Structure 1
Amino acid sequence: MKIKSLLLGSAAASMLAVSGAQAADPIIYAEPEAMEYVRICDVYGAGFFYIPGTETCLRISGFARYQIGAAQDGALNRTPNYHGFGDGGWNKYARGRINFDARSETEWGTLRGFVRFEVNSGQAVNSSGTASGTIMPWMFVSLSTQQGELLAGYLESAWAWSGPIGNYGIHSDTGGSYGFQRRSQIRYTFNAPEGFFGVLSVEDNNRAGQARQWMPDVVGKLGVNQAWGGVYGAFGYDAVDESWAARVGAQLNVPNAPGSSLIGTFFWANSVDNAYAPRMYYAAADATAAARWSGAVSYEHRFNPQFAAGVGYQYLSGFGAGNPHVHMVDASLIWTPVRDLEIRTEVGYHKARQAGTNLDGAFSGFLRFQRSF
């Protein structure tokens, strides 16, 4: 009996020891995998982040805008107003824009895809009373290196927007008259040392009311951009009209006043129907044609990061009977009270004249609120 009791006691003690040891062991749970929601991509500047699971960097940007404008009431003897507003009452509209900019590095260089969407309010914003809708005004793919960029897509013509300088006409938001248009195009931009650059673009010429052509329109641009400013020259060939336009210009940056500059531009075209020449409205009935030649000058001064002001003037001389010509003046004030909020006001004056007709001038202007992101 004693031996049996001893054996049972030893077994019980052993079981208690084992149970105690197991109870003392910590319970280990599997660690959850770390979730990385956003990785900042600082390769291309602020605002880019990596698309999860890829090495592609994406930046989302855009703005929300509200604007209220007005113009002098039209009459048979009044020049169409500078901003293209309808007569009689306020001209109001809202616009939203969103950009998607995706970039990544490849063995061939930086691969980029850019898409821009815009939507306007349903109110009329110009003299034709055009209703607005959702549009995609820019979409392109590009491949770039330090030496240059190959771009293909739909965006503003290289005539109006290409290179570091020589874009648009004057400093104002409307830019004066400079041959604005959006085109399907393939362009190459070459970057040389010391700020020299060149642009060559072949562009779709399937304009409204014209037959489709095999021969594309061609735009070329050469210039130099340095700390003091720059100079440039551009050439545009209209294959449909078989005519050409040219522009030369310069920009002078103001020392010790970052963001301040004086620009001057001279345009010339050899046809009233050339697609790249600045357009001029020279009759109360909105008659429009290309300018034979035009000169524009403007100055914008940035007093501080919050406040800037600008003024510009453009003269256009037309073709044909009566030698029509137009004077345009524009002044703007830009206030940025806080980061990404711009409050802009702009006033323009537009006056046309041709032999036998001296139209009255027209004033127009707007107040705009814009939040960028």
Structure 2
Amino acid sequence: MTKGEAVDYVKVCSTFGPGFFYIPGSDTCLKIGGEIRADYRVFGGDSGYRISPTRVALTSAGFDRNDDRSAFNTQARIWFDARTQTEWGLLRSYFQINADSHPISHQGRDSVYNGNTFSIDKAFIQFGGLTAGYAHSFFGFYDNDYGDTIWAPYYAESSTANLLAYTAQFDGGFRATLSIEDGRDHRVNNPYGTAYTSVIIGGAEDVTIGSLQGGQQVPDIVAQLRYDQDWGALAVQGALHQNRTGSTWTVSSGGDTQDIPLASYNKWGYAIGATALIKLPFVDGGHFIVEGQYANGATEYLGANNTFFGTAPADLYLSSLFGSGSYDTGKGWSIVAELGGNITPVLNANLVGSYIGMKSDNWLGFVDYQIKEYTIAGNLTYTITKGLTAAAEVAYTHGEWDYSAPGAKYSPSASAWQGGIRLKRTF
């Protein structure tokens, strides 16, 4: 280096809060953060692994020696948050990737045996009111802003979707968002257990059924109106979701596969919901939030894919196998409520309760199917030192199903609980 040569040093950027620094040679501020999560869990009740309600109804079987009763996983997260203040407003890009050593679903089911997985959690661009990329759906805000269970399921919109959205800010705390979202990220398909399908389709073994949905033609349209004040927030939201049949329906049984031609069908499903947040000023970080929604032909917005026992009516199903066939849509409602806050400066507590109810009528022309499920969960998080926490959670889930057909009725139920601890280092 010669005398007088300029040197770029990393400089702190205080404009956007702690942790940001200027990328040398630019006016862009960058924050790099991450987490390591070490999870240790146990399961009990009717199944510690995952139970099909049809299996309970037809064989009266609970868990067996093939079901996991404990499960461990370590997850690493890293994120990059780059921001530049422009004459047109804030330009921001955000990227987060997660890596799991042995991923586990909320039921305790191993997603991958003896293998690691990497997944994109978020990847989006924001410019003024525009959001483009892979971001949380703009239907509701409970899951994105709160959702403070550790593993326990709750029933609300929780999907990350490819989207293009614009948010307009108004005086008085109002803001409105219109979002175009990939409908393939909001589908619910193949809801019926193998055992029950086998009974309906001639008692065959190992029956699997494909999705009726065809290729996407029109993306989902999501809108939200939100009102924020010092005391909390209110929001109402809605979504439109296209259900469109494909050319064939694939049914496999005993190793044989048959493609059944489908009649052309196109119907818009919808979901509507509301959220209310009340901040509790007498507790640090104290809050009570409730979010509820109703859907017809768009059950993913209910949190249908989050059900503990893994069953939910599909958005689109056959309501008749006769003639050219006819179709209908699954429907239902869900609600989630959370009460939480910091008991002491180093001890946080949350209590979450959630319920979902869904149904499909005349599946295959003669089967009525209903599901009801609720979960209650409580957790405590203790801050050992800055950046290091230890958390414990206990949750109970109960599910009920009702399969009704001429001359046959199955009404199984199942309950399960899970508990565990998480050590988390944030940096």
* TM-score normalised per structure 2: 0.70
Provide the secondary structure at the position in 2 that maps to 1:239. strand
Match of residue 293 from structure 1: 333
Looking at structure 2, the residues matched to 181 and 118 of structure 1 have their Cα atoms a distance apart, in angstroms, of 16
Point out the more displaced range, 294-303 or 119-128: 119-128
* Alignment length (residue pairs): 330
Quick check: 2:140–2:274 contact (8 Å CA) kept in 1? no
Match of residue 70 from structure 2: 90
C-alpha spacing 1:168/1:54, structure 2 compared with 1 (3 Å): closer
Counterparts of residues 212-361 of structure 1 (less than 5 Å):
212-240=215-243, 242-271=268-297, 274-279=299-304, 286-289=310-313, 292-320=332-360, 321=368, 323-355=370-402, 356-361=410-415
Looking at structure 1, the residues matched to 216 and 307 of structure 2 have their Cα atoms a distance apart, in angstroms, of 30
Q: Which amino acid aligns with 2:119?
A: I
Structure of larger gyration radius: 1
Looking at structure 1, the residues matched to 103 and 273 of structure 2 have their Cα atoms a distance apart, in angstroms, of 35
Q: CA RMSD in A?
A: 2.8
Match of residue 18 from structure 2: 46
* % identity of equivalent residues: 25
Match of residue 62 from structure 1: 34
Counterparts of residues 31-42 of structure 1 (less than 5 Å):
31=3, 33=5, 35-42=7-14
Report deviation, 1:50.
0.7
Q: 1:180 aligns with which of 158, 161, 173?
A: 158
Looking at structure 2, the residues matched to 194 and 87 of structure 1 have their Cα atoms a distance apart, in angstroms, of 54
Provide the secondary structure at the position in 2 that maps to 1:206. helix
Report deviation, 1:98.
0.7
Matched, 1:198 2:183: no
Q: 2:90 aligns with which of 110, 116, 128?
A: 110
Q: Which amino acid aligns with 2:38?
A: Y
Provide the secondary structure at the position in 1 that maps to 2:139. coil
Quick check: 1:282–1:324 contact (8 Å CA) kept in 2? no
Quick check: 1:233–1:247 contact (8 Å CA) kept in 2? yes
Q: Which has the higher strand share?
A: 2
Q: Which runs of 5+ in 1 are unaligned?
A: 1-29
Q: Which runs of 5+ in 2 are unaligned?
A: 188-210, 244-266, 314-329, 361-367, 403-409
Provide the secondary structure at the position in 2 that maps to 1:276. helix
- CA shift digits 1:318-369 (9 cap, x unpaired): 2133543112111111111211112111111111123442423111122101
Quick check: 2:155–2:336 contact (8 Å CA) kept in 1? no
* TM-score normalised per structure 1: 0.80
Looking at structure 2, the residues matched to 185 and 233 of structure 1 have their Cα atoms a distance apart, in angstroms, of 19
Quick check: 2:237–2:274 contact (8 Å CA) kept in 1? yes
Report deviation, 1:123.
5.1
C-alpha spacing 1:97/1:228, structure 2 compared with 1 (3 Å): same
Looking at structure 2, the residues matched to 236 and 325 of structure 1 have their Cα atoms a distance apart, in angstroms, of 23
